[in-house]
Structure 1
Amino acid sequence: MEEGKKRMAVLVGCNYPNTQNELHGCINDVLTMRDVLVKRFGFDLSHIQLLTDAPAAGRSDIMPTGANIMKALGEMVDRAEPGDVLFFHYSGHGTRIPSVKHGHPFRQDEAIMISLKYLGFLLTNVDFRQLVNRLAKGASFTMLSDSCYSGGLIDKEKEQIGPSTIPTRDPAPSDDHKPKSIPFETILQHLSSLTSICTHEIGTHLLELFGSEASLKFRLPLHGGSILWPELLKPDDGILLSGCQASEISADMSPSPAQGGAGKAYGAFSNATVLKEHSGQLSNRQVVMMARQRLQANGIEQHPCLYCSDKNADAVFLWQPQENYKSKIHKMLVNWGWWS
């Protein structure tokens, strides 16, 4: 990598311990990813921030509250310079919430569910859009979300690999397979019990509980019953690799030793990104397609997707173009006045 260019990452794993929605493989996912980033992609360990909600080897003391996650992501984005590579890996629950956009009364938007004691904090597709909009020109922001309903988690990002033409359905729960989702109705009921406010508008509950820390989706100025979105529509260099389509669930796997899993839990998509099994460079498109193939081979009914610009679809995963040797020599000669 060219000298002076930074590689930075925020890794978030939420297992929701001691709740009825507890998962088992999410912290394992981000610990594995941390090793891959260092050993394969040249990330400095000091530039990787790890946030988990249960004790784990080498984890930071920062808990994955919504405020802490957005602070870590915001600081990473604000430090970015042209050529820098930024990466966000989330493994945990996802959900869908009714859209508050004008003209989309029946649409549902994507969100991730941050919970320490099942508090109900949501980060939405609008929050990730706003982060990408702040990104320095020439830097990249890659998001890998191993969560349910994760397709489209960066709002307005162009779909490159999207919904499968094959009809899909939510797989039935099994002993080794748990969906990484919390139903919206469950979240709303819990938030209502905390605020004692009688409304089905989830934004009202979140603003009451979290105020200025609530998702940007619910803090944007309202005008005539619709939300103003002009700053959210400009071109960007965000890259989303989602664990499934916006209408699907992602699986948290807890295979027994008899099933060849040595008892170690993991997220199906995180495990299927096959980064450790290929020594060569893979494009963002190849990573997603190979993950689809691997999940299908293992009988897991979820379809990873890719959302990014046309240019970034075939760009190498977690890699930025660098000047070749000849161009560097030419630049040196020009700077020395030996070449025009």
Structure 2
Amino acid sequence: MDKGKKRLAVLVGCNYPNTQHELHGCINDVVAMRGVLVGRFGFDPSQIELLTDAPGSLVLPTGANIKAALNEMVNQAEAGDVLFFHYSGHGTRIPSLKPGHHFRQDEAIVPSDFNLITDVDFRQLVNRLPKGATFTILSDSCHSGGLIDKEKEQIGPSIIKNTTSVSYRVKTIPFQSVLQHLSSLTSINTSDIGTHLLEFFGADASLKFRLPQLESDLLELSKTDEGILLSGCQADETSADMNAIEGGGKAYGAFSNAVHMVLNENSGALSNKKVVVMARKVLEAQGFEQHPCLYCSDGNADATFLLQPEAK
């Protein structure tokens, strides 16, 4: 690894404590990942930003705070840099705003304050990357397939249905529940989620709602695209959160845990494709229904996950 190349990471774990949507393993997921990034992938601890909603947390994982951290990371990026975003928390699906897509739904993650970050926001971040930098997203959330808008599908939906043999909590907040929560904040009587987000969050709302009909170069697929998405499940599936009792130890997200298992059992460099294929096998063996997916360019499918430095 060249000494001049930076390795930057933003890790976000949302457990939504003391709410009806509470999860248990998300903070554990990203704390564990921080250790892996430092110990295996050559990240400097000072270049890793950790955002959680743990009690006493100084910077909460709100929509604005997560986007600020991601924007700062992209702003620092130079050719050759490795950027990484690990999200563990709830996801949701929202009706598409695109003309002619009346039945299509788009993907979003649900920060602690419900200020949704959408596939369009991730597309815009990827498009801002300098040439030669890579941006890997590992999203352990429901409906995470397709979280980078227009990214090429390398490992997509599976028709194989695993037999469910475990009890878990799903990492999704249904659209109607998100809408109901936002309606309680704005007291506006409309089913248009964008209206609520713009009213309550203003300029911090997702680009999808601030620029609903924009089809400019800003949000189009870049020809030299370096976005890499490892999703915990396909777009129409849910991802599992295991609490300590069900998991037999620490609480964890099923996909994050599967990736950790794959990395622990294989010390050498693994391609992005290999990580996803092997994580699928782990989850299948454990009895989970979800199918991790991979979205990236052809070249990045075979590229080494996080461009693992060679052992000295």
TM-score (norm 1): 0.86
Residues of 1 paired with 2:230 and 2:84: CA distance?
A: 11
AA aligned opposite 1:61: L
Q: How many Å apart are 1:102 and its aligned residue?
A: 1.2
**Matching residue of 1:7:** 7
Structure 2 residues not aligned, in runs of 5+: none
Residues of 1 paired with 2:98 and 2:165: CA distance?
A: 32
Q: 1:191 aligns with which of 182, 187, 191?
A: 182
Residues of 2 paired with 1:314 and 1:269: CA distance?
A: 20
**Matching residue of 1:338:** none
Residues of 2 paired with 1:19 and 1:173: CA distance?
A: 24
AA aligned opposite 1:49: E
Structure-2 change in CA distance of 1:320 and 1:35 (3 Å): closer
8 Å Cα contact 2:162/2:288 also seen in 1 = no
Residues of 2 paired with 1:229 and 1:93: CA distance?
A: 29
Q: How many Å apart are 1:229 and its aligned residue?
A: 4.0
Structure 1 residues not aligned, in runs of 5+: 323-340
Q: How many Å apart are 1:227 and its aligned residue?
A: 3.8
Residues of 1 paired with 2:65 and 2:244: CA distance?
A: 32
Residues of 1 paired with 2:266 and 2:308: CA distance?
A: 19
User: Secondary structure in 2 aligned to 1:87?
Assistant: strand
8 Å Cα contact 1:15/1:23 also seen in 2 = yes
Q: How does 1:151-162 map to 2 (within 5 A)?
A: 151-162=145-156
AA aligned opposite 1:193: S
8 Å Cα contact 1:77/1:134 also seen in 2 = yes
8 Å Cα contact 1:85/1:320 also seen in 2 = no
Are residue 228 (structure 1) and residue 215 (structure 2) matched? yes
The number of aligned residues is 306
> C-alpha deviations, 1:170-225, integer Å up to 9, x for none?
x6983xx10000010011112112212111110000000000000010011x5xxx
8 Å Cα contact 2:62/2:114 also seen in 1 = no
**Matching residue of 2:226:** 237
User: Secondary structure in 1 aligned to 2:290?
Assistant: coil
Are residue 264 (structure 1) and residue 250 (structure 2) matched? yes
**Matching residue of 1:254:** 243
8 Å Cα contact 2:88/2:141 also seen in 1 = yes
Are residue 280 (structure 1) and residue 255 (structure 2) matched? no
8 Å Cα contact 1:173/1:179 also seen in 2 = no
Q: How many Å apart are 1:275 and its aligned residue?
A: 1.6
Residues of 2 paired with 1:172 and 1:279: CA distance?
A: 29
Residues of 2 paired with 1:73 and 1:82: CA distance?
A: 17
Q: How many Å apart are 1:321 and its aligned residue?
A: 9.1
**Matching residue of 1:96:** 93
Residues of 1 paired with 2:49 and 2:91: CA distance?
A: 21
Q: 1:146 aligns with which of 133, 140, 143?
A: 140
**Matching residue of 1:37:** 37
Residues of 2 paired with 1:173 and 1:103: CA distance?
A: 39
**Matching residue of 1:337:** none
Q: How does 1:290-329 map to 2 (within 5 A)?
A: 290-319=278-307
**Matching residue of 2:69:** 72
> C-alpha deviations, 1:132-161, integer Å up to 9, x for none?
011010000000000000000000100000
8 Å Cα contact 1:83/1:320 also seen in 2 = no
AA aligned opposite 1:270: S
Flag the structure with larger Rg: 1
Residues of 2 paired with 1:74 and 1:194: CA distance?
A: 27
Q: Which has the higher contact order (CA 8 A, sep 6+)?
A: 2
**Matching residue of 2:210:** 219
8 Å Cα contact 2:41/2:308 also seen in 1 = no
Are residue 164 (structure 1) and residue 158 (structure 2) matched? yes
Q: 2:120 aligns with which of 109, 120, 126?
A: 126
AA aligned opposite 2:285: A
Root-mean-square deviation over aligned CA pairs: 1.9
Residues of 1 paired with 2:286 and 2:161: CA distance?
A: 18
